[in-house]
Structure 1
Amino acid sequence: MPRAVSTKISRSHDLSAGSLRPAAAKSDQHGSNQNSSATTKNPIFNTDKFGQHILKNPLVAQGIVDKANLKPTDMVLEVGPGTGNLTVRILEKAKKTTVVEMDPRMAAELSKRVQGKPEQRKLEIMIGDFVKTDLPYFDVCISNTPYQISSPLVFKILSHRPLFRCAILMFQREFALRLLARPGSNLWCRLSANVQLYAKVDHIMKVSRNSFRPPPQVESSVVRITPLNPPPPIPFEEFDGLTRIVFTRRNKVVRACFFGAKGVLDMLEANYKVWCAEREVMVDDSVPFSQVVDAILRDTGCADNRAAKMDIDDLLKLLAAFHEKGIHFS
């Protein structure tokens, strides 16, 4: 990178070969095997290693930034800025923009793009793996998300404190639809429940594969995620532990998820004993543990429910009943 570039650049961790962002599977990225010959020869792109598909449609880029309703006082976090087609638009409206980019070459291109311009002093570039990066304060998150980190990105920002105002994120269409899914639909899943417990999710726009260079194999969608403020006082590890069990067989009755899956009862009983030991409470072994679990499922009316049709209130009711008996999921 030229020495004249004064944009703040930091590395979130050592960029060894093992820490570079891996290419995602075909089903979880912008179709990395569909490179055009022109793009493959372009040294700026490394789609095979980083899954890079640059947003080239200016109308889509401007639409994403407009939907963020940025204020002149906003601190913005952008993930995976690439060559900066979103970044330059964000810099026009926000007070400061911090970008997290895995590829040092892309970071250099972005630095060159703002070099010598007034926006340069408002940009900070962090080179590294977003999943391993300590995030700064931000009001708004904007991302043309590298699809292989879609889930980690969502849960990392939702767990960030203090809470941000909103996030405008582009995902693979199927992933976005699962974020938006409602109970009873074919796409309602553990991801849907876990995210919707802590945030409101809205669909913003569809994005054609032709809006990217190189074009991916899949279509995309942009969603707005608005965290609930204040957030519900439910430990994520507990709710996620429950949904991990019941959505393993989303179309089976809940009782089968607890009694038909190997190791579930053993894990819960071990957690129960740890909980009792930490509180110096005697373990109640007057009733077999399996009967205790069965009674909870029956008393809550969830034994014959199917996770595919359970809403968040149903799941919270079940979680509270387990907690009443000292049974935890993490």
Structure 2
Amino acid sequence: MKAVRPKKNLGQHFLTDLGIAKAIADTVDACPDIPVLEIGPGMGVMTQFLVTKPRLVKAVEIDKESVAYLNETFPKLRENIIGNDFLRMDLNEIFDGKQFVLTGNYPYDISSQIFFKMLDYKELIPCCTGMIQREVALRIASAPGTKAYGILSVLIQAWYDVEYLFTVDETVFNPPPKVKSAVIRMTRNTVTDLGCDERLFKRVVKTVFNQRRKMLRVSLRQIFGGSASAEFYAQDIMTKRPEQLSVEQFVELTNIVEAEMKRLEI
């Protein structure tokens, strides 16, 4: 069967270096003994190494041409190649509610959406590895006080330990992307309860980073308008900017916001 043509509308950049493909596939070994779900296998450059591992492997691919190629190239995987849109799937159904490792050479334009979905199913996904745009990888792995630290950093680091593993050059793809890529691994930490309302935590993080250069006492007005008390805005934490706060401080801030919301009966 002829090679699959990379499609710009799907953000496809097919990895051509087998050594790098194997290195990415091997990142799942840090979380052994559970199945693997590969997103966007394309022509199976990573898949060929994943299927040699002693565990169940499934692959989800939205491109019909790639699905046909994979079915012909990996006949043993035929029943485990899912022609679907990962972002629309109920992940409980893939391995009958059992935990699995998420991996892939993720499309750049939806990688953040993939990781937000991972967070929605964090109890099912103890480990997530793969390749993404280097800029996004740095954002996810960055520490408080750095320029890259933002929404993804906080929301993912609240639940996962993040490792930036290695950088990948543009030259090993067809077609070459305009940016460098990077391979990361995210492993669930020991947190089972944030210690605050999780939905409000997300809202607070997104709200303040939408005005990341402003102090919290300014950006939080998006939630309260003019209704919050002077005492609320006078607290020490309100003079900080969002990139200065650790995950633990965001938990503290969320509880402060919730207390004020309850006082105002919002």
Normalized against structure 1, the TM-score is what?
Answer: 0.72
**Deviation of the 1:73 alpha carbon:** 4.0
**Deviation of the 1:197 alpha carbon:** 0.9
Aligned runs of 1:1-330 on 2, under 5 Å?
44-69=4-29, 73-115=33-75, 119-120=76-77, 124-135=80-91, 136-137=94-95, 138-160=99-121, 162-233=123-194, 234-259=196-221, 261=222, 264-266=223-225, 289-291=227-229, 294-299=230-235, 301-327=236-262
Q: 1:244–1:54: structure 2 CA closer, same or farther, 3 Å change rule?
A: same
Q: What secondary structure sits across from 1:45 in the alignment?
A: coil
Task: Name the aligned partner's letter for residue 134 of structure 1.
Answer: D
Aligned partners of 2:6 and 2:14 also within 8 Å: no
Normalized against structure 2, the TM-score is what?
Answer: 0.88
Percent identical among aligned pairs is: 28
Aligned partners of 1:158 and 1:227 also within 8 Å: no
Q: 1:86–1:48: structure 2 CA closer, same or farther, 3 Å change rule?
A: same
RMSD value over aligned CA atoms? 2.4
What stretches of structure 1 of length at least 5 have no aligned partner?
Answer: 2-41, 267-287
Q: 1:85–1:70: structure 2 CA closer, same or farther, 3 Å change rule?
A: farther
Q: 1:70–1:308: structure 2 CA closer, same or farther, 3 Å change rule?
A: closer
**Deviation of the 1:221 alpha carbon:** 0.2
Aligned partners of 1:183 and 1:308 also within 8 Å: yes
Q: What secondary structure sits across from 2:116 in the alignment?
A: helix
CA distance in 1, matches of 2:112, 2:197: 18
**Deviation of the 1:145 alpha carbon:** 0.3
Partner of 1:274: none
Task: Name the aligned partner's letter for residue 254 of structure 2.
Answer: L
What stretches of structure 2 of length at least 5 have no aligned partner?
Answer: none
Aligned partners of 2:58 and 2:77 also within 8 Å: no
Aligned partners of 1:197 and 1:232 also within 8 Å: no
